[in-house]
């Protein structure tokens, strides 16, 4: 199963991606996580990306495309993947299409998670992320069993540098301007599956799974 998740910040892409990859045993590729890891490791890439990320702006296409080109060529992506946070511009989508073509990988679906803006803001403001494994929680909507500690690995939970009001505004603005056009791009290619992102985690996960299967039945 090769799937891309699109949707605004706070729509639950990361959380849903985790549920999918656990169930299907396929890799979760999140460019945001890769970039945050590079910042933590203080690599050249991390230093380059940090300025953009802290402001809530997009990292330049060629940087992100380079990362993805390497990642998707690793053997674990052959049997499936869930991409989350990439592509998020038309040039990224076009480059990704070429790379996948070279690798002989066909996308099964591009899932759009739809959530009203007020909910996005609430979700982002209360979001906490595991410093160690990247799992995400919410202080009231999806709290960890123990305050400040990751259920999965025991790592420390923190609030992302870009989950502040100004960066959140910039990120949503970048979504509207650069990423929203992908919806039509993938709809025209018959790949788009629209899913209501409101509800319990498992409920949304079921909805996603059913929608992807329905698309496969329709096209096969």
Point out the residues that are catalytic.
13, 88, 127, 160, 171
| Binding-site partner at residue 85 among Zn ion, ligand ADP, none, CB < 5 to 8 Å by type | ligand ADP
The number of residues that bind ligand ADP (CB under 6 A) is 17
Is the dihedral angle over the CA atoms 144, 149, 154, 159 positive or is it negative? positive
Question: Which lies closer to ligand ADP via its Cβ, residue 163 or residue 209?
Answer: 163
What CA–CA distance (Å, rounded) separates 79 from 81?
A: 7
The alpha carbon torsion through 137, 63, 91, 175 (nearest 10 deg) reads 30
Is residue 50 within the footprint of ligand ADP (CB under 6 A)? no
130 contact choice in Zn ion, ligand ADP, none (CB below 5 to 8 Å, kind-dependent):
Zn ion
Closer to Zn ion by CB, 8 or 32: give it: 32
Contacts of 35 (CB under 8 A, 6+ apart): 45, 46, 49, 53, 59, 64, 67
Provide, rounded to whole angstroms, the least separation between the CB of residue 38 and Zn ion: 18
Contact 35, 59 (CB under 8 A): yes
53 binds, among ligand ADP, Zn ion, none (CB under 5 to 8 A by kind): ligand ADP
H/E stretch holding 84 reads strand 81-84
Question: Do 158 and 134 touch, CB atoms closer than 8 A?
Answer: no
Q: Is the dihedral of CA 150, 20, 77, 2 positive or negative?
A: negative
Residue 64 as a binder of ligand ADP (CB under 6 A): the answer is yes
Which residues from 72-131 bind ligand ADP, rule CB under 6 A? 85-86, 88, 92
Rounded Cα distance between 189 and 7, Å, is 18
134 touches ligand ADP (CB under 6 A):
no
Interface positions with Zn ion (CB under 5 A) = 130, 132-133, 135, 150, 152-153, 155
Out of 3, 32, 77, 83, the residue judged to bind ligand ADP by CB under 6 A: 32
Residue 85: left (phi > 0), alpha (psi -120 to 50), or beta?
A: left
**Residue 112 binds which entry of Zn ion, ligand ADP, none, with Cβ cut-offs from 5 to 8 Å by kind?**
none
Site string for ligand ADP, 158-187 (x = CB under 6 A): ----x--------x----------------
**What spatial distance separates the first Cα and last Cα of the chain, rounded to whole Å?**
14
Of 156, 213, 183, nearest to 11 (Cα)? 183
155 binds, among Zn ion, ligand ADP, none (CB under 5 to 8 A by kind): Zn ion
Given the rule CB under 6 A, which residues bind ligand ADP? Answer: 9, 31-32, 35, 52-53, 56-59, 64, 85-86, 88, 92, 162, 171
């Amino acid at each position: 199963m090769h799937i891309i998740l699109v949707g605004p910040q706070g729509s639950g892409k990361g959380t849903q991606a985790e549920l999918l990859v656990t169930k299907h045993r396929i890799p979760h590729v999140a460019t945001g996580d890769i970039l945050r890891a590079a910042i933590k490791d203080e690599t050249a890439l991390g230093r380059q990306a940090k300025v953009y990320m802290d402001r809530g702006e997009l990292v330049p296409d060629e940087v992100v495309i380079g990362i993805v080109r390497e990642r998707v060529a690793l053997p674990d992506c052959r049997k499936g993947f869930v991409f989350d946070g990439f592509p998020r511009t038309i040039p990224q989508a076009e480059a990704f299409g070429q790379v996948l073509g070279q690798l002989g990988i066909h996308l099964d679906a591009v899932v759009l998670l739809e959530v009203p803006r007020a909910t996005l803001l609430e979700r982002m403001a209360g979001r906490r992320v595991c410093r160690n494994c990247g799992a995400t929680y919410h202080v009231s909507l999806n709290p960890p069993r123990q305050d400040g500690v990751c259920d999965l690995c025991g790592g420390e939970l923190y609030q992302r540098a870009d989950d502040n009001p100004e960066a959140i505004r910039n990120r949503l603005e970048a979504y509207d301007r650069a990423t929203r056009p992908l919806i039509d791009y993938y709809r025209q290619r018959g790949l788009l599956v629209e899913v209501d992102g409101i509800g319990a985690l498992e409920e949304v996960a079921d909805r996603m799974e059913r929608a992807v299967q329905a698309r496969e039945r329709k096209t096969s």
